[in-house]
Structure 1
Amino acid sequence: MLLACFCQSAIQSGATSERQGTQAPEEPLKPASSDSENSLVDQIATDIQAGAYAPGSWLKQIELQQRYKTSRPMIRLALDRLAQKRLIRHEPNRGYYVYEADGDEVRDLLDLRAMIECAAARRIIRHGTGPECDRLEELAQNFEQLIDTGSILQQYEANLAFHQQLLSMSGNPQIAVIIDDLRHRIPSAPAGQWRTYQRVKQSSAEHFEMVAAIRNRDADALADTIRRHIQQTP
């Protein structure tokens, strides 16, 4: 009887070992794709630019992990990328903070942006097509409607879409890349960009002035409106 029990136990043990031996090994965890990382970087950058995180504020990694539903290593990678772009800054042993440019630096960056976009005005007049201008006007109308009906984030995204379309009409995609980099270094969230309701309305009116200048093939008028729009002068 004891021998039978022992044999039965040995058979079961051998069968278990055989099953374990033939079991397929677990696949190693795949590293996160660069597309996922780029998407996360873009999401955080957009939220910073839209005013979700104020200049100088501390970016708590656990809160970012919960907000963007991703892992801590992915958050760290994204924050390091944003620090390289100078959208945020990293203080060792303290954490990551939204970059806060001083007044002189902001003015210098705005001047640089105005120089580049004003110089692009003639290219926009030369290369812009009728359908592209129609699309630009649609985006201007969308921004105008969102002034009274949309959220701050919707207004920000509508304004960004207008300017991306405008620069794409230059025929030189590198201009948009450079301006996008400058935007990341300039506090452009609505709270700082549009200090009053009247300033928002003026920005909208300037969008339509740009459209009119393009339709009239007036490069000087377009450049002047772009300069006033960026530097927020009357």
Structure 2
Amino acid sequence: MSNTGKSLSDQAVQELVAKLKQAIATGTYQPGEWLKQIDVERSYNVNRFTVRSALSELHSNGFLQHVPYKGYRVTEHSLQERIAITEARELIECAAAARVIANMDSPGLQRLESLALEFRDALNAEDRPRMMKVNFAFHRCFNDYCRNPHLSRMVDELRERGVGNANRGWTKRSTQEASAQDHLDMVEALRDKNLVRLQALIHIHLNRWRQGYDSLSS
């Protein structure tokens, strides 16, 4: 294969990896769900080599589990792993909050407020897939304003790894409504440049999923 051909092949693999990560993060593929190679080929219009390479990379990075003679399925984290992922996100995002406030501008505030309102609209319409996608977009936009691409990618990866097991907490209407209000409150804290308030909201918001577990929500 020529260097050009190899480059295009590698690009196709990375594009599929990114799409599958987003599908996992937004709940299209649920924890424990099997990813059949033929289904991925058809859904994303890619060849077998690209699918195999992408699934292998996602397995190496911990997003998928490989079961010999059966295939790949979405990793299902234990409760302890989910807690550890949340703690890691909280440490990073609370530390980054000061940079987000310092770098925030009017277009950013408008974008975040628009996403917060769109999330609320999706909630009222009971459109869960849209809720997941908008929630993902809100947090990505927020973290992009720390102006550190390495940190943003780190947070994205933690969110992608952990969001599936957070779904149990999200099934409660009260939790969904509280999360919608969290987004709006975070925008106001950014507008007011209130770091203490913003960090408190980050802590509350990231731990909403615990409300799906009686042993953690008491």
Alpha-carbon distance in structure 2 between the residues aligned to 1:110 and 1:124? 19
Q: Does 1:138 align with 2:131?
A: no
- The whole-number CA distance in structure 2 between the counterparts of 1:174 and 1:152 is 30
Query: How far is the alpha carbon of 1:190 from its aligned partner?
Result: 7.2
1:110 aligned to 72, 77, 86, which one?
Answer: 86
The count of aligned residue pairs is 207
Q: Which amino acid aligns with 2:107?
A: P
Alignment check: 8 A CA contact 1:156 1:190 kept: no
Offset of residue 193 of structure 1 = 5.0
| Counterpart Cα distance in 2 of 1:30 and 1:64 | 22
**Which of 137, 141, 144 pairs up with 1:165?**
141
Instruction: Kindly state the Cα deviation for residue 150 of structure 1 after the two structures are TM-superposed.
Output: 6.2
**Residue aligned with 2:164, SS:** coil
Matched, 1:65 2:36: no
8 Å CA contact 2:25–2:161 kept in 1: the answer is no
Once the two structures are superposed, residues 3-43 of structure 1 have per-residue CA deviations (whole angstroms, 9 ceiling, x without a partner) of xxxxxxxxxxxxxxxxxxxxxxxxxx945433322221122
1:104-158 residue CA offsets vs partner (Å, 9 max, x unmatched): 1110110110111111111112221232112211111111111123632221111
Indicate how the Cα distance of structure 1 residues 66 and 199 shifts in structure 2: closer, same or farther if over 3 A, else same.
same
Maintained 8 Å contact 2:82/2:165: no
Separation of aligned partners in 1, 2:201 and 2:32: 31
Structure 1: which amino acid aligns with 2:119? F
Cα gap change, 1:192 to 1:34, in 2 (>3 Å)? farther
Confirm whether residue 83 of structure 1 aligns to residue 59 of structure 2: yes
Q: Does 1:92 align with 2:100?
A: no
Moved more, 201-210 or 187-196: 187-196
Residues in 1 aligned to 2:41 and 2:128: alpha-carbon distance in whole angstroms: 23
Cα separation, 2, equivalents of 1:107 and 1:174 = 23
Q: CA RMSD in A?
A: 2.2
Structure 1 residue 197 and structure 2 residue 211: aligned?
Answer: no
Q: Which runs of 4+ in 1 moved over 6 A?
A: none
Match status 1:207 vs 2:180: no
1:176 corresponds in structure 2 to 152
| Structure 1 stretches lacking a partner, 5+ long | 1-28
Given the two structures, how large is their TM-score scaled by the length of structure 2? Answer: 0.86
Structure showing greater Rg: 1
Partner residue, 1:7: none
Question: Structure 2 unaligned runs (5+)?
Answer: 212-218
